[in-house]
């Protein structure tokens, strides 16, 4: 809509004109700011505000770009954002369409780490009384790690070397980047639902604080704390500490060390068994020596020197046992005969030939007894058994 002298616009026309100017004027920008008001929509898109001391800027991160992030955005995180300026015409607002996002520096990640650590510690998630003991001789181990990389290979080598009969159940997950934390937490919950393992190990090789960040996410810490199955955290190298380490029942300095902590060495177990066997043999030999000495004393006793009296006493005892045995045997025989008679009567009552004599018939289809009319269909070939023989028939 235009008028003579001064140009007029509809709201749509003006907004569209501003949109063209802004989007063509800022096709690519890099913005530094602090994330606030972060919202993850059910569609998978992420909306948040970038702010500094005096201004703020709306931002949108489309679902298709989320999997390529190395660090999941969080409120309070200072970040460097790359993208383009776009206009949301429905509301007449401008925003940055985020193409990439990364923390401003390791200091910001460390600050976020300390904040979450203090929060969860205050809730008691790291308390010693929550820690569960590891099973001494686990036969089935749940492993949460990446299917690719050296970690899985190294741990399997340790398992095979220390206890070849061990069963390892792998939950393959991403261990880096956006969405990895949710996969790790889901794998822990799945193992608890499955219930077929005795201990869980979550493992990842070394890396930067940004690379290890999924193991510093709150969703992972809470999944670990909620696990009913004992859990070992083996993330990074010995100098690397994660939130998962504090929440776990035990922390291992490396993935290979976790495998050695959880699984006892087969040779050590065999050595323990050999020690037990030696101790048992020595104990048995000592007992035999004691009994031999006891017999020696009996041979010298007064009672042993009067064998006739002892023989009469034992003979009388045998007579009593014989009478008791005869009575018990007769009683048991009567019970067995009564039970056998009852079983015979029940078997006779269940004899299908008796039912046939009473006018009943048995229908078989493909050699199997048909116990319901619904199992028969027109044109089915059946065999009908009567008392005096079988009659082949066809269902009409």
- Asked whether residue 132 falls in the same domain as residue 88, the answer is no
- With respect to residue 366, please indicate whether it lies within any of the assigned structural domains: yes
User: What integer pLDDT is reported at residue 305 of this predicted model?
Assistant: 64
Contact 89, 103 (CB under 8 A): no
Q: Is the domain of 51 the same as that of 142?
A: no
In this predicted structure, what is the pLDDT of residue 106?
57
Q: Which of 243, 264, 285 is the last residue of a domain?
A: 264
64 and 190 share a domain?
no
pLDDT of residue 48: 94
> What are the pLDDT digits (tens) for 109-129?
777 888 889 999 999 999 999
**CATH number of domain containing 236:** 3.40.50.2300
Is 279 in the same domain as 218? no
Residue 326 lies in a domain: yes
Same domain, 291 and 176: no
Return the DSSP state at 126: T
320 falls within a domain: yes
* Distance set, CA 286 to CA 84, 282, 290, 291, 293 (Å): 88, 6, 6, 9, 11
What range defines the domain where residue 131 resides? 126-264
Rounded Cα–Cα distance for residues 337 and 135 (Å) = 52
pLDDT tens digits for range 243-276: 999 999 999 999 999 999 999 887 777 777 778 8
279 lies in some domain: yes
What pLDDT sits at residue 302?
A: 66
Give the number of residues written for the chain: 396
**What is the separation of C-alpha 373 from the centre of its chain, rounded to a whole number of angstroms?**
47
Statement to judge: residues 144 and 218 lie in one domain = yes
pTM of the complete model:
0.52
Final residue of a structural domain among 234, 264, 294: 264
Residue 4: the pLDDT is 45
The CATH number of the domain holding residue 21 is 2.40.50.140
Is 47 in the same domain as 64?
yes
Q: Helix, strand, or coil here: 266? A: helix
- For residue 323, being part of any structural domain is answered with yes
Directed axis angle between helix 106-122 and helix 218-226, to 10°? 30
Asked if residue 240 and residue 208 are part of one domain, the reply reads yes
**Is residue 111 assigned to a domain?**
no
Q: Report how far residue 180's alpha carbon sits from residue 187's, in angstroms, rounded to the nearest whole number.
A: 11
How far apart, in whole angstroms, are the C-alpha atoms of residue 31 and residue 101? 10
Residues 180 and 157 in one domain: yes
**Quick one: 170 and 234 in the same domain?**
yes
Residue 316 resides in a domain: yes
Collect the ranges in the chain with pLDDT lower than 70: 1-6, 70, 105-108, 302-306, 308-309, 349
**What b/e readout covers 61-75, taking b as 16+ CB neighbours within 10 angstroms?**
beeebbeebbbbbbe
> What is the distance between the terminal CA atoms of the chain, rounded to a whole angstrom?
83
- Whether the Cβ atoms of residue 181 and residue 219 lie closer than 8 Å to each other: yes
Judgement on whether residues 366 and 334 belong to the same structural domain of the protein: no
Pair (313, 385) in one structural domain = no
Total structural domains within the chain: 4
Does a structural domain hold residue 117?
no
Which of 71, 104, 137 lies at the terminal end of a domain, its last residue?
Answer: 104
């Amino acid at each position: 809509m235009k008028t003579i002298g001064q140009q007029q616009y509809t709201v749509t026309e003006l907004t569209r004109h501003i949109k063209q100017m802004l989007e063509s004027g800022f096709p690519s920008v890099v913005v530094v700011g602090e994330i606030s008001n972060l919202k993850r929509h059910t569609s998978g898109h992420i909306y948040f505000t970038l702010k500094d001391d005096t201004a703020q800027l709306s931002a949108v991160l489309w679902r298709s770009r989320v999997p390529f992030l190395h660090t999941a955005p969080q409120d309070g995180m200072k970040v460097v954002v790359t993208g383009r300026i776009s206009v949301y015409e429905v509301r007449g607002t401008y925003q940055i369409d985020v193409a990439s996002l990364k923390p401003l520096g390791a200091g910001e990640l460390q600050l976020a780490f300390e904040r979450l650590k203090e929060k969860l510690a205050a809730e008691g998630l790291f308390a010693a009384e929550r820690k569960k003991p590891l099973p001494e001789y686990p036969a089935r181990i749940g492993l949460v790690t990446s299917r690719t990389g050296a970690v899985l290979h190294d741990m399997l080598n340790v398992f095979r070397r220390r206890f070849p009969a061990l069963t390892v159940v792998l939950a393959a997950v991403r261990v880096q980047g956006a969405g990895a934390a949710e996969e790790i937490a889901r794998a822990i919950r799945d193992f608890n639902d499955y219930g077929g393992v005795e201990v869980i190990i979550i493992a990842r090789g070394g890396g930067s604080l940004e690379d290890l960040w999924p193991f510093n996410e709150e969703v992972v810490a809470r999944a670990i704390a909620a696990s009913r199955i004992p859990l070992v955290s083996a993330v990074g190298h010995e100098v690397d500490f994660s939130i998962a380490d504090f929440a776990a029942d035990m922390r291992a300095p490396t993935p290979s060390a976790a495998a050695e902590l959880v699984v006892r060495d087969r040779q050590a177990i065999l050595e323990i068994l050999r020690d037990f066997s030696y101790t048992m043999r020595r104990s048995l030999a000592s007992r035999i020596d004691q009994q031999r000495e006891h017999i020696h004393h009996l041979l010298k006793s007064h009672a042993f020197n009067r064998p006739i009296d002892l023989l009469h006493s034992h003979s009388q005892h045998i007579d009593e046992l014989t009478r008791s045995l005869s009575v018990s045997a007769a009683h048991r025989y009567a019970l067995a005969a009564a039970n056998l008679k009852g079983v015979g009567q029940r078997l006779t009552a269940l004899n299908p030939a008796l039912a046939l004599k009473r006018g009943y018939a048995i229908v078989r289809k493909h050699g199997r007894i048909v116990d319901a009319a619904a199992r028969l269909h027109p044109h089915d070939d059946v065999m009908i058994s009567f008392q005096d023989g079988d009659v082949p028939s066809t269902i009409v």
